[in-house]
Amino acid sequence: MSHSLIPWSTAMGSRRQPLFFLFFIFLHLFRFTHSSSSSFQHLQITNAERRIDLNSHIIKVYLTLKVENLGTSPASEVHLAFSPTEVEHLAIVKAAATSGKQKKKTYTRLGVKSAELPDGPNGTKIFSISLLTPLSKGETITLEVLYQLTHSLEPFPVEISQSESQLVYFRDSAILLSPYHVKQQTTFIKTPSTRVESFTVVDPIKRSGTELKYGPYDDQLPYSYSPVLVHFENNNPFAVVEELEREIEVSHWGSVQVTERYRLVHGGARHKGVFSRVEYQSRQGSSGASSFKYLLARLPAKIHSVYYRDGIGNISSSHLRTGLLKSELEFEPRYPLFGGWKSTFVIGYGVPLQDFLFESPDGRRYLNFTFGCPLAEAVVEKLIVKVVLPEGSRDPTAVVPFQVEQRQEIKHSYLDVVGRTVVVLEKRNAVPEHNAHFQVYYSFNPIFMLAEPLMLATAFFLFFVASVAYLHIDLSIRKS
């Protein structure tokens, strides 16, 4: 039996390499974590005011922070902390630096993104606000932050009858979750009505009408958290669009046609028992208080050829108000929507081409349109925007002010030869704040506008030739 012998020094060297590699990774992670924690220690929040608006099922949080740099090196970022539950339901985060007072206050928009930093205690996620000018030692800056949360109100009870009001739970913290030391802070929670069944007491606390005031609290350590639970009445409709597909078809012959396909559900407490139409109409103030009585869609100005239909057919119970800046379509579903009930419908309209299609300095054309859902106070779980460009369009690019998924498709329509390019933009968890303008740039050769007329002319010419030939051919059967 033979044995292969390996020198002792070679064997130890092969073992040291992975150990040294692991030690290097550990040292790098330690330096990264230490540097991030030390950067948190350089900044301090001298005053924080948080206002939480619970009037809708979309929770709006307005945060005002006064940040001071206590370190020796300038700071180019200010970090925000969110719990894992908040990140799961976070729809949008916006930040701005403010200067001046009241009427003379000016706002400077700042970029916000998810920070590439390790999670904080209990899985806390960190977001970073990029400052335009680094904050030097001893300087202060005032930041105003807006973030919105969806699906964060829990109906309780989860099922209600037609005559009952809708009660919901809201969970949060009386103390601002922050990676920095906070010298003083206050939290205000505003409810839709004065009916508040219960709320967590964290002294000092004050209730006045529809508002709860937690604080002020002094000298809170980083990542401090004090859970609170508010149980209150919220009869506002929970309009949740499970899927919305908006198809924007561009035609260079003078029109932009928009088709919107909705799959809507009432996301509040589920309806139990039997629905009574008589009770619903006779007691409109109390019966079905949280149901959908109508829907409001904010559409562009100068719209024409508006229609609204569901799976059965056209619905005439709608009112259209047009103006110079916008149009409003108020329509009633075929039946009122209670908690858990669903409805599918289609809205279509046309708008003038010259109001939405422009030419860029480099000669390319671009469509300027709104991205989000036209329905007021609606949460869209899956939003698909399809921009159908004219046949012959090349090199399309989309410019959207927030992150979306992009892809391209080909659509074949009437009289198309090679098909039309379709730019598909998809976003999850969209709210009314996403109803911002976006642009789709593309190149187009005007010669392609003659394709359809030439095809029609050729078809008519061939039909005419075939007709003449048919009239001059003798197909009768006779003797020679």
Same domain, 158 and 264: no
Torsion of CA 98, 100, 105, 108, to 10 degrees: -30
Domain with 292, as residue range(s), is 239-453
pLDDT tens digits along 468-479: 887 878 766 766
pLDDT of residue 452: 64
Q: Of 169-183, 184-198, 303-317, 443-457, which gets the smallest average pLDDT? A: 443-457
Q: Do 212 and 319 fall within a single domain?
A: no
Q: How far apart are CA 137 and CA 335, in angstroms?
A: 62
365, 317: one domain: yes
pLDDT recorded at residue 31: 40
Residues 80 and 207 in one domain: yes
104-155: per-residue pLDDT in tens?
Answer: 889 999 999 998 888 889 899 999 999 999 999 999 999 999 999 999 999 9
Residues 194 and 256 both lie in one domain: no
Q: What is the pLDDT of residue 33?
A: 42
- Asked, for residue 351, whether it belongs to a domain, the answer is yes
Residue 328 maps to a domain: yes
| Angle of CA points 382, 119, 41, to nearest 5° | 130
Residues 139, 75 share a domain: yes
Tell me: pLDDT of 1 over 60.
Answer: no
For 366-387, write each residue's pLDDT tens digit.
999 999 999 999 999 999 999 9
| For the ranges 15-29, 62-76, 306-320, the one whose mean pLDDT is highest | 62-76
- Is 432 domain-assigned? yes
Q: Which of 211, 233, 255 is the last residue of a domain?
A: 233
The answer to whether the CB of 351 falls within 8 A of the CB of 255 is: yes
CATH code (residue 160): 2.60.40.1730
Is 72 found in the same domain as 98? yes
In a domain, 288, yes or no: yes
Residues 155 and 191 in one domain: yes
CA distance 185 to 44: 12
Q: Are 190 and 248 part of one and the same domain?
A: no
Asked, for residue 409, whether it belongs to a domain, the answer is yes
Are 363 and 415 members of one domain? yes
Q: Is residue 406 part of a domain?
A: yes
Q: For the chain, what is the domain count?
A: 2
Residues 6+ apart with CB under 8 A from 17: none
Q: Which of 233, 250, 282 is the last residue in one of the domains?
A: 233
Claim to verify: residue 159 and residue 277 sit in the same structural domain: no
In a domain? residue 9: no
pLDDT band at 415; cut points 50, 70, 90: low
Measured at the CA of 221, the angle between CA 58 and CA 78, to 5 degrees, comes to 60
Give me the pLDDT at residue 294, please: 86
Regarding whether 273 and 201 lie in a shared domain, the answer is no
Dump pLDDT digits (tens) for 152-180. 999 999 999 988 999 999 999 999 999 99
Which tens digit of pLDDT belongs to each residue from 227-252?
A: 999 999 999 889 999 999 999 999 88
Domain boundary among 233, 250, 280: 233
pTM of the model: 0.83
Percentage of the chain lying above the pLDDT 70 cut: 87
Q: Give pLDDT, residue 447.
A: 63
Nearest CA-CA partner of 374 in 298, 322, 427: 298
What per-residue confidence (pLDDT) applies to 118?
Answer: 87
Check residue 56 and give its pLDDT: 93
Q: Is residue 130 part of a domain?
A: yes
